[in-house]
Amino acid sequence: MKVAVILPAAGLGTRMRPAAPEGTGTSRKQFMLLEGAPILLHTIRKFLRSPLVTEIVVALRREDIEWVEEMLKREQPSKSVRLVEGGESRQQSVENALAEVSADTDLVAVHDAVRPFIDEQTLRNVIEEAARTGAAIVGIVPVDTVKQVHRTRVRATLPRERLILTQTPQVFRLELLKEAFEKARRDGFVGTDESSLVERLDKVEVAVVPGTDYNIKITKPADMELARFILSRQSAEQKAS
């Protein structure tokens, strides 16, 4: 089975206020340094190591393609890692990357470049589920009660037991994901994840597999402190094993 991973990494990271990491000339969150390596590289390494993944396509801003290419050469990747230019929205970035996926791909796993702590077991679970059903995503149950609001006023309390917070990877059969993107483009629909595009097709039910609290999306400044902590714990575990 051929599994391609798409990593959208072409965002501006406007919710972060980071110091520019050395050497990259950029301050965007996907390139902030964790133990000396940009977050994106930590994420790419997870998929390079996974025996489940056959190829990786990364969507980048045009000005980042060259130095990321240089950085990847030094990694001597064991499988194909292609770099494509992203777009103005995350959806456009993924669509551009999707066009570059090998035609004989069975499943496409889309994963936020800023989630470097994805573990092999979760990846395996979501891929196996998508192989069975056509579409599967990773999610965790919320611990907070979620409310719908209008400005500063509560409009509704959502039943927590029926909610999940979506993480990535989100995995789909190639043809299904392509069809979902085509329909979204036709309808002018822009979603914040790939699942919402596939849901609109009304063709398959999207399955949910449990994620972990460690699979964080590095979005806000405080997330970097948490990321350093998770990384040091993981490094200690690796040394011990």
Please report, as ranges, the residues that interact with ligand C5P according to CB under 6 A.
8-11, 30, 59, 86-90, 93, 112-114, 219
Burial class (CB in 10 A: 0-12, 13-18, 19+), 63: exposed
Question: Please, what is the minimum distance in Å from the beta carbon of residue 87 to ligand C5P?
Answer: 6
Nearer to ligand C5P, 63 or 205 (CB): 63
Q: Rounded to whole angstroms, how far apart are CA atoms 15 and 29?
A: 9
Please give the full DSSP string across 53-117, using - where no structure is assigned: --EEEEEE-GGGHHHHHHHHHHH--SSEEEEEE--SSHHHHHHHHHTTS-TT-SEEEE--TT-TT
Cα–Cα nearest to 5, from 184, 165, 126, 89: 126
Nearer to ligand C5P, 77 or 87 (CB): 87
Find the shortest distance in angstroms from Cβ 110 to ligand C5P.
Answer: 9
Contact 29, 11 (CB under 8 A): yes
Q: How far is the CB of 85 from ligand C5P (least distance, A)?
A: 10
| For ligand C5P, the closer CB: 35 or 88 | 88
Residue closer to ligand C5P, measured from CB, 18 or 87: 87
Closest distance to ligand C5P from the beta carbon of 8 (Å): 3
Minimum distance, C-beta of residue 97 to ligand C5P, in the bound complex (Å): 8
State the minimum distance, in angstroms, from the CB of residue 217 to ligand C5P: 7
Give the nearer residue to ligand C5P in terms of CB position, either 10 or 118: 10
Closest by CA position to 5, among listed 49, 69, 66, 68? 49
User: Cβ 39 to ligand C5P, closest distance in Å?
Assistant: 9
Q: How far apart are CA 51 and CA 48, in angstroms?
A: 8
Specify the DSSP element, H or E, that contains 170. Answer: strand 165-173
Task: Give the residue at shortest CB distance from ligand C5P.
Answer: 11
Compute CA distances 140 → 6, 74, 96, 99, 208, whole Å.
21, 36, 28, 30, 9
